[in-house]
Structure 1
Amino acid sequence: MPIKIRLTVMNFLQFFVWGSWLISLGGYMGSQLGFSGLQVGSVYSTMGIASVFMPGLLGIVADRWVNAERVFAVAHFIAAGALIAAAQVTDFQTFYVLMLINSLFYMPTLALSNSVCYNVLTRNGHDVVKAFPPIRVWGTVGFIVAMWSVDLLSWTKNTSQLYQAAVAGLFLGCYAFTVPPSPPFLDETRRKSWVSSLGLDAFVLFKHRNTALFFLFSLMLGAALQITNAFGGPFLDDFRATYPGSFGAQHPNLLLSISQISETFFILLIPFFLRRFGIRNVILFSILAWVLRFALFGLSNPHDRLYLLILSMIIYGMAFDFFNISGSLYVEKVAEPKIRSSAQGLFMIMTNGFGAIVGGYGSGWVVDHFTNAEGQRDWPSIWFTFSGYALVLAVLFLLIFRNKRMIATRSL
């Protein structure tokens, strides 16, 4: 089988595992396990906890001692085992610990998957810049297919979603052993300090006011992503009582998958927007898109206002992609060449690590605040609160950032 196809299958399965439960697990925890909003948010925050240090630690193992594809495979085996165990329990503490173990070993595989692809493509004489994006896009397809299968099989409210993810993870772990080897680069990596390998040398960037503020905004915007991951499904599920026959209430995962489809579209628009408006304005568009994303949720329903829900899903692509990619480019500009890799790792730690932790716990607290004694949630107030949060960030970003490196980028 051609190497590109083999790597495409690996990327498809990598995100199929995640898509099987990421969007729908919140609904299962709330409706079937009876977890509070704060408890649901804390489970989702485990991905942030894992993202702070585990990618760096397993990256060191893959760089120094063990082939990356083997580390990747073992991590998937452990993560799948945790999912199977989580499907057997109903109490919060045990469930939380098992999902934390899953996150500790699944989240590093996102970076390891890229490393394996880059290594294999390079060793086989391919141009990584040209060859990898068409391979990676199949990861998004895998995520969407997983969401659809869980929805169409009516698994959004039961443990079958966890079993689907676990089976796919076990298969992917076995499949990884058939991928061409990605051995450690012994001479290069063993000369690097542990501080450098973990990306800690990039913290020198916090000495600069504008860059420090940018990383702070990265954390706060990373929090926004966790809000809809954790509560988009429960939001639509609650409409089953008021609009029992509506498409959105019956098929929440299908509706939410429009967000992932939108991502693939907005990725293609990024080069035009960067050339036309520059990095600073593109990031501002992203923050404003989060304002609209949440506000439209607050105004919508799956019946006569279904179009507002769909519009919110489409806007998600701009909200997510414009910040992640433009922010990465900004980091590339401000970091010295010797710490660029570490700086990119720091960007991911702030958004997917600390940002996810803040978003998980913060959104859970807001949801609980607007939940009455009977368990009924005031969703418009919840989403307008999140929209107001994003609007405050947009205003502060507009007022604070006058960094020339962020504004004068239209030559990209």
Structure 2
Amino acid sequence: MSNGIRFRLSFMMFLEFFIWGSWFVTLGTFLGANLSATGTQIATAFSTQSFGAIIAPFIIGLIADRYFNAEKILGLLHIIGGALMFYLFQSTDFVAFYPVLLLYMILYMPTLALVNSVSFNQMKDPEKEFSPIRVWGTIGWIVAGLSISYVFTWDTVENMASGFLKNTFLMAAIASVILGFFSFTLPKTPPKADRSQKLKISEILGFDALGLLKERNFAVFFISSILICIPLAFYYQNANPFLAEIGVSDPTGKMTIGQISEALFLLLLPIFFKRFGFKKTLLLGMIAWVLRYLLFAFGDADNGLFLLIIGIALHGICYDFFFVSGQIYTDSKAGDKFKSSAQGLITLATYGVGMLIGFFVAGKVSDLYLAADGSHDWQSIWMIPSGIAAFVVIFFLIFFKDESKKQSNLS
């Protein structure tokens, strides 16, 4: 791969996740502070990610894989997305805001697969070449968060009260349009599917891999994956509003510690696989969810700030040790015939079904512990996802049989 192509792919990844990180982290805070949204409404807004994840395979399978170059579809989706983001920037009412956000996420979620397709098409050895390019996506998310807190200071108490958080959508709109036009300069990535063959919806959704659920261990892992998404939804939906409400300064900037941790532990993951195997690595990831929410429950903006920082920093273990290791485990179980279908099934189960349930539960819990003055009983709120994560740990520990003899294949 030439340096020119490497640069273009890295810049594409940077903008792809800069766009998402520009508005997604502060969405709950914005909706509560500026559109007077309830916890249930905020949950409904976050669930657009799940609907986008469910619909995305149809866009990729029915259009991108069969009729048009991936880079052209990527460009078109981001240009339209930029226009939708600009509309959200101007919105003052949740009823008008929600359907536009839903349409945006239906268009954005497929781009996550498209940027991977464009990248892999240029690589001879993806195992070595992809990570140095994909890490620029994490950097993009981090830069977006740091910009919100330390460059523009949109998430200070004064600026949030003045409605400055709406500028996050404007920032995302500008970046989206830039990526949209830049995408047309990316290497050509033509469709590879044979249009003469009849396309099966079951293949698009990954249902061909359902046979893997006949194996007890994979079934236990599959159920655990869905259940652990409930605590994950609490973090996405409530972490930023929680930090802002209790008076933590520069909450969005501090949350980028989680992405830095994610990048670090991604590099350490192979070492943990080799030393501890899949079951212990996955358990460590789930235990980190339990610990994280306990730290959130008992931390505060003053003497307990270090507890909150540790909780944020655990994101790398929480996410990498469960979700990334889970993707690797799924790949090892699927075999050549069902590799794509199995990954599609896990994605649908987690970011689709699991997160949809999680956002719904998180919204109901937030409303349940909402006081008359608009504040929340955060300790009670955080104890619930901690308890759910603890249940998943016990469930997985009891029913997942150790595969230590086979785990060398995952290292």
Q: CA deviation at 1:162?
A: 0.4
Match of 2:223 among 207, 216, 229: 216
The aligned residue for residue 27 of structure 2 is 25
Cα–Cα, structure 1 residues 277 and 302, in superposed 2: closer, same or farther, change >3 Å? same
Q: Confirm or deny that 1:137 pairs with 2:147.
A: no
Contact 2:78 2:108 in 1 (8 A): yes
Q: 1:186 and 1:34 mapped to 2: Cα distance?
A: 47
Q: CA deviation at 1:87?
A: 2.1
The aligned residue for residue 105 of structure 2 is 103
Contact 1:223 1:358 in 2 (8 A): yes
Which stretches of structure 1, 4 residues or longer, exceed 6 Å deviation after superposition? none
Contact 2:66 2:195 in 1 (8 A): no
Match of 1:225 among 213, 220, 232: 232
Q: Which runs of 5+ in 2 are unaligned?
A: none
Report % sequence identity: 38
The aligned residue for residue 39 of structure 1 is 41
Contact 1:151 1:252 in 2 (8 A): yes
Q: Confirm or deny that 1:203 pairs with 2:241.
A: no
The aligned residue for residue 115 of structure 2 is 113
Question: What SS does the aligned partner of 1:87 have?
Answer: helix
Q: 2:405 and 2:58 mapped to 1: Cα distance?
A: 32
- 1:5-62 CA deviation, whole Å, 9 max, x = no partner? 1110000000000010111111111111111111111111110111012234234311
Q: Which runs of 5+ in 1 are unaligned?
A: 241-248
Code of the aligned partner of 2:30? Y
- 1:203-239 CA deviation, whole Å, 9 max, x = no partner? 2333444323321211112232221111111101112
The aligned residue for residue 336 of structure 1 is 335
The aligned residue for residue 14 of structure 1 is 16
Code of the aligned partner of 2:80? I
Q: 1:358 and 1:187 mapped to 2: Cα distance?
A: 36
Q: Confirm or deny that 1:179 pairs with 2:178.
A: no
Q: CA deviation at 1:400?
A: 1.3
- 1:131-175 CA deviation, whole Å, 9 max, x = no partner? 111011011000000111112212233210001001101110100
> What are the residue-to-residue correspondences of 1:343-358 with 2, within 5 Å?
343-358=342-357
Q: CA deviation at 1:186?
A: 4.5
Q: 1:230 and 1:134 mapped to 2: Cα distance?
A: 29
Q: 1:189 and 1:145 mapped to 2: Cα distance?
A: 44
Q: 2:212 and 2:80 mapped to 1: Cα distance?
A: 35
Q: 1:69 and 1:176 mapped to 2: Cα distance?
A: 6
Code of the aligned partner of 1:233? N
The aligned residue for residue 92 of structure 1 is 94
Question: What SS does the aligned partner of 1:183 have?
Answer: coil
Contact 1:64 1:190 in 2 (8 A): no
TM-score (norm: length of structure 2): 0.93
Q: 1:135 and 1:335 mapped to 2: Cα distance?
A: 26
Q: 2:197 and 2:4 mapped to 1: Cα distance?
A: 33
Identify which range, 194-203 or 298-307, moves more after superposition.
194-203
> What are the residue-to-residue correspondences of 1:45-84 with 2, within 5 Å?
45-84=47-86
Contact 2:16 2:137 in 1 (8 A): yes
Contact 1:52 1:349 in 2 (8 A): yes
Q: CA deviation at 1:407?
A: 7.0
The aligned residue for residue 159 of structure 1 is 166
Question: What SS does the aligned partner of 1:159 have?
Answer: helix
- 1:87-134 CA deviation, whole Å, 9 max, x = no partner? 222322221111111110111111110001111x13xxx422211110
TM-score (norm: length of structure 1): 0.92
Identify which range, 179-188 or 344-353, moves more after superposition.
179-188
Q: 1:325 and 1:78 mapped to 2: Cα distance?
A: 30
Q: CA deviation at 1:373?
A: 2.3
- 1:338-386 CA deviation, whole Å, 9 max, x = no partner? 1111101111111111121111111111111111222220011111121
The aligned residue for residue 246 of structure 1 is none
Number of residue equivalences: 399
Cα–Cα, structure 1 residues 189 and 62, in superposed 2: closer, same or farther, change >3 Å? farther
Q: CA deviation at 1:408?
A: 3.7
Q: 1:387 and 1:345 mapped to 2: Cα distance?
A: 28
Contact 2:66 2:194 in 1 (8 A): no
Code of the aligned partner of 1:250? S
Cα–Cα, structure 1 residues 189 and 74, in superposed 2: closer, same or farther, change >3 Å? farther
The root-mean-square deviation of aligned C-alpha atoms, in Å, is 1.8
> What are the residue-to-residue correspondences of 1:244-283 with 2, within 5 Å?
249-283=248-282
